[in-house]
Structure 1
Amino acid sequence: MIFRPIVPQEIGSVLAHVRPDSSTTLSADLIRSRLALGEYRPGWIWIAEPVPGRAPMAIAVWWGRPLDCHPGSLDALFAPLGPLPVPAGPPRRTAWAASCSTDPRSAVAAALLTAAHQVFAADGLAIAPPFHLFLPPAWRARSDVAAAVAWRRRAAEAAGLHCANERLRFEWTTDRPVPALSGRLRFVPEPDDEVFVRLIRRVLPGTLERSGARECMLVGAEAQARSEVAFYRQEMLGKRAWWRIARTTTGHVVGFGIPSHNSEVPVTGPLGVLPEFRGRGFAAEILAETTRILAAETGAAVIRGETDIANHPMVAAFELVGYLDHARRLVLSAG
């Protein structure tokens, strides 16, 4: 079995084997469009092939921002259903051998991911990119989706992505009323990025967002806050003029909202409430203002946002403002 990235000349032949299923909507056409944007690259699309020139037994597709040196996440993992060839040669203790007693798709996919992770690490990527699976809300109750997730999850775990975090994906549509504000807060533009750095740094300790807590532990609140501001300022497509500081009617800063836009739709972006003002429903009011700005500025039919399933205050805020739970994002990571 050979595990390797593809070359540009192979894109068409490899994508002919991409078959979306109930765990992913990623199609060959979408892969092509993201290749054109620089979010996918031939070096980030890996295949497992039994011998050179044969159809791939597994395909892995990693995503990254156009200026990134390394991939940021694994977007999709494909493998055919059916018997897979046993690798020739003497037995070795590889990811393939370690997992061959499970679904054979898990075995070959685990070996493919392990080989790619080793190359990424040798190129300077300290932590293997997480695997993001985009799923319907009640995915566990659907046998087809649960089965599609199961073999992929076993492969990811065998390749070192053993931590799971589920995120709720919310959607607001224009057929719903634009959220009303209570008048308890005033929202003002703030041109100084350093103000947002300070506010993000203050809300990070104690955050219920698992990814935020993890990054804070790894790099510190200051570095993470600066990275967040730089990302939404330089990488996302939202306008800087949309960013808001939330104040009480007496002038005290309560929190912030950073409405934005990804490559497809407007997104609620990060928002936060300072620790001393939590528990008063201010997150819903900041989210309402964020929604009003995006609805007025973009004219889009859909606005999206997401939060960890365990972040109950933010889940309640989305529901209160009128967002509907429309999907899940299951993140499998190394830690």
Structure 2
Amino acid sequence: MLFRPTTEADLDRVVACTVDEPISWIPADRYLAELAERMYRPEWTWIAEDGDRVVARALWWGQSGSEHPVALDCLYVDASVSDQVAVAAGLLTAGLRAFRAQGARTPPLYNLTLSNGWRADAAVSAALAWRRQAALAAGLTEEVERLRFEWTPDLGVPASSGRLTFTEASDEAFLQVFRRIAEGSLDAETRRNLAVKGAEATARHEMDFYLGCPGKREWWRIAHTSDGAVAGLAIPSATPYSPNVGYLGVVSELRGRGHVDDLLAEITRIHAGNDAELITATTDMANAPMAAAFARAGYRNTQVRMLFSEPSG
């Protein structure tokens, strides 16, 4: 079995791979469109060959300007392969090793999209099972289940409660609030980074991530209470596909007072004011307060995402 990145000569064989399992995958038209925008690239597309047959394919994705891939979007192994886990794990291991050798500091995570209620669907559970085993075998042992939410204009634009005021601020001011929010966060990645890196490095990591997203820096807001105290921050952001709820958080001493609703409403208003037709958002399944806030704001839970990543450290 040969594991290798593709070249332009492999394109026809790459797009011929078809996933017939009930799980997220990247069809040929999307791959070709995003290949043209350098979000997929031949060197980020890996295949497993058995003789002259392509028996497995891994599609890693990044932003157009990314030096290294950000996420694995699609993992396919032909149903005729007797040990799908072994082939998939070998393909992932080879790709991740190559990205690391090329200077990638953070291995790309594996992002799988599932339907709501997937545990009750035997076919979906089976499609996930061998992919999960392969991810774990390749070292992507941190597993997080996330809920995806969506807002559309028919849901209405929330009015301000008047409890908080929102202002623009310097990067340093935002960094300080990021640091305060990290303490006691329910977000799995934040908690892992906090344990390994400490509050300062965690805050810097999160802020740098959002500075690198397609959203505009001038959208960012710090929230203050009526007496001028910092309550938290709201970062409307974007992916290459749509505006999203990038980051919001309340400082630890003011949690439990409903300010999360004000922060989410401000993000929604900013995007709606820019004529957004769709706003997406995700939160960890374990972060029940944030999921509840999305529900109160009318955001619809549309999907589940399973994320597999390498442990921090």
Shorter-chain TM-score bucket reads: over 0.9
- Residue of structure 2 equivalent to 1:279: 256
Asked if 1:136 corresponds to 2:134, the answer is no
The within-5 A match list for 1:281-296 is 281-296=258-273
- Residue of structure 2 equivalent to 1:90: none
Segments of 5+ residues of structure 1 without an aligned counterpart are 85-103
CA deviation after TM superposition for structure 1 residue 118, in Å: 2.6
CA deviation after TM superposition for structure 1 residue 70, in Å: 2.6
Asked if 1:321 corresponds to 2:300, the answer is no
| SS of equivalent residue, structure 1 residue 259 | strand
Conserved? CA contact 2:62–2:68, under 8 Å? yes
Q: Distance in 1 between matches of 2:13 and 2:243?
A: 34
Conserved? CA contact 1:44–1:61, under 8 Å? yes
Asked if 1:223 corresponds to 2:221, the answer is no
Q: Distance in 1 between matches of 2:273 and 2:180?
A: 29
Asked if 1:203 corresponds to 2:201, the answer is no
Q: Distance in 1 between matches of 2:174 and 2:245?
A: 16
Q: Distance in 2 between matches of 1:37 and 1:292?
A: 30
Q: Distance in 2 between matches of 1:197 and 1:20?
A: 45
- Residue of structure 2 equivalent to 1:50: 50
Match of 1:267 among 238, 244, 255: 244
| SS of equivalent residue, structure 2 residue 155 | coil
Q: Distance in 2 between matches of 1:275 and 1:185?
A: 16
Conserved? CA contact 2:223–2:232, under 8 Å? yes
RMSD (Å), alpha carbons:
1.8
- Residue of structure 2 equivalent to 1:3: 3
Conserved? CA contact 1:6–1:46, under 8 Å? yes
* Aligned AA (1:34): E
What TM-score do the two structures reach when normalised by structure 2? Answer: 0.93
| SS of equivalent residue, structure 1 residue 269 | strand
Q: Distance in 2 between matches of 1:147 and 1:120?
A: 29
Asked if 1:71 corresponds to 2:69, the answer is yes
Q: Distance in 2 between matches of 1:81 and 1:280?
A: 52
The within-5 A match list for 1:224-243 is 224-233=202-211, 235-243=212-220
CA deviation after TM superposition for structure 1 residue 212, in Å: 1.6
- Residue of structure 2 equivalent to 1:34: 34
* Aligned AA (1:303): I
- Residue of structure 2 equivalent to 1:23: 23
Match of 2:278 among 278, 288, 302: 302
CA deviation after TM superposition for structure 1 residue 37, in Å: 2.3
Q: Distance in 1 between matches of 2:61 and 2:101?
A: 18
Q: Distance in 2 between matches of 1:48 and 1:268?
A: 37
Q: Distance in 1 between matches of 2:11 and 2:62?
A: 18
Structure with the greater alpha carbon radius of gyration:
1
Render the CA deviation track for 1:157-201: whole Å, top value 9, x for unaligned.
Answer: 2222223110111111111122233221112222x1111111101
| SS of equivalent residue, structure 1 residue 59 | strand
| SS of equivalent residue, structure 2 residue 156 | coil
Pick closer, same or farther for the CA change 1:239–1:128 going to 2, 3 Å.
Answer: closer
Conserved? CA contact 1:20–1:26, under 8 Å? no
Conserved? CA contact 2:150–2:278, under 8 Å? yes
* Aligned AA (2:80): G
Match of 1:179 among 131, 134, 158: 158
Segments of 5+ residues of structure 2 without an aligned counterpart are none
Flag as ranges the 4+ runs of structure 1 deviating above 6 A: none
Q: Distance in 1 between matches of 2:159 and 2:259?
A: 13
Conserved? CA contact 1:164–1:331, under 8 Å? yes
* Aligned AA (2:265): A
Q: Distance in 2 between matches of 1:132 and 1:273?
A: 27
Q: Distance in 2 between matches of 1:62 and 1:133?
A: 12
Number of equivalences: 311
CA deviation after TM superposition for structure 1 residue 72, in Å: 2.2
